[in-house]
Structure 1
């Protein structure tokens, strides 16, 4: 194929790119334009002006690059957007872990291998395969650069941005990672953008433990548990600590209640299998990890990037939200003189909470509405015989998600 393929050759190449995408484990691949819609640029600017990004100053510092893919990768003509399903198989049901006040809840995406490394490696391989047929300039990204991934994916037709600000796809839900390959090849565009199918549903907005949503598509990161437990480096605001419950790394509630996730299935990628029993571990067990144990158990995982200090901070808050068991109180007492002021502060708060709870001055933690959090994928191994998988989202798919059961 020549250096500059003609339209027919580009169309043939696009078909091969889709085939390569399937071979590399991407559940779907779409080719979109290398521009961010004006509405998405305005939305980002308004969000930043409200301070909704909290301490994530890098969001504001690199906003201009998010606005313009060509400023990030000069000469880019197309953006190949991909998704890879990540919900880990053979894990304890999320609702059951959330309902266990002595259990630690880790967001499902973080239970296995760090997705950044896996997706970037696969996308780079896709770029190389294209290079072998049609020399081109390309760069691979996945949640690690100033790229408005969800806006670009929506424009390419991968799905629509739900009211919870996650990307949703018919027949798939939202349990997937996104990645992009920027290329200077003039490949034919896929139909897009995707239509919004959230209807009148507001389950995700109402279930949020910290009420982080100002309204549809408007998330205040400063109240979001994922931000508080991962991105925030300092003290967690005291008024929000009781609302975090036992969530020690991220939060999935807005996805767990989404009716569209009834169609999701577990990941086929073995790298996303939960490691070290983190899907069902106890708070006391994880709080007992010293720094060496933390680093050993989180090698190659996204969790590792928060560091041992934040790990203990998060666990202290969760222990303070749980029952005043002897094990919890002893574990906190053992960290009372920790060298980190951040850890000591949160341990002291948790110990006070448990003392008050033991004395009857503080109510027991509220029960998690397990029945409401039932939209997690079903492991094929656990699906009853004769029950069809809803891969294409057609059988029983609600016209308005609020009517789904």
Structure 2
């Protein structure tokens, strides 16, 4: 009986280890994401302990990218493991007898007055039907409990919306989510995310009040960094965004409404934002946005969903495309979120990265961050047929509160345009001038 109980625990632990082996993270990294001790997580995976609550197991499965079917099976194994541990604690093995073999039996008459005397068990009559042992009856009760829990879990999984179903790709369609605010914080008038300044209208949103959440400065006064502002008080995370990221650090196109003689030589990658701003340049074909996110304290913040909002569409045109390189490449491709701006409702799809032939698993939301455990999200937005204005929304939850921050280009939407049919130039370093693109 005890071997069967231990088998239930070990089977549950083996399922946890299989999920852990899929990731490229250590026990310590996973434990930080789950907000638990490393030793505790290791004991669960080794079969030395079983969590009394399924919530940490569910978060572990989500972090490891488990499918809905795998989560359901893990829930079944957890129920059996918990029941096995409870049986092993409530039913200790019989202790060996220490009385001599020839010791006389206790005489009921020797008992003290008032002390109950245990009478010998009666032998069952030959005609009495045999009763089922207690542990078999308990096994039936546990099986019934497992079946009931599985039915409840299946019902809850089927009731989830498509964009939050466990094991989904992590992308979310561009639909307005319900928002809640922290206690004592007034609800913003705009349907967008909380804003440090509700008086700055967005030209692409038809004059509606759209916020710009940046982690620097204060909520009342602007930051020293132009275009960046602190999110309103109560938002438990800080973030920054850089949209002037070049492919492999060297490849990018900008569309500029000037002749080649009026365009300065291409800048170094770290100076791209200043250079592009001075030329009123628009990203050509592709916009790579690097978002750095972390919690303000050691309390975990869950990044629940990432949505794409397109607020303007037009046909490409008006200007020339200027390539920042003559062709480049690299052995490292970070994992990223792929966005096709040509679709009617673009979504952010998690995509794997690659490091010299080794796959870097895609980042799938929900994902945990804290002050000690920041994360970088890379968004790769592309278009062939659109001059698009767009921004991102990042949903978060922490300690029972939820919210949304808007990620944009210093309070304005990002701009990306197709370059097909436009004149394209590259910079000739020997002649020190822009020349027609030769490749």
TM-score by length of structure 1 reads 0.21
TM-score by length of structure 2 reads 0.20
Structure with the larger strand share: 2
Which has the bigger relative contact order, CA under 8 A and spacing at least 6? Answer: 1
Larger Rg: 2
Structure with the larger helix share: 1
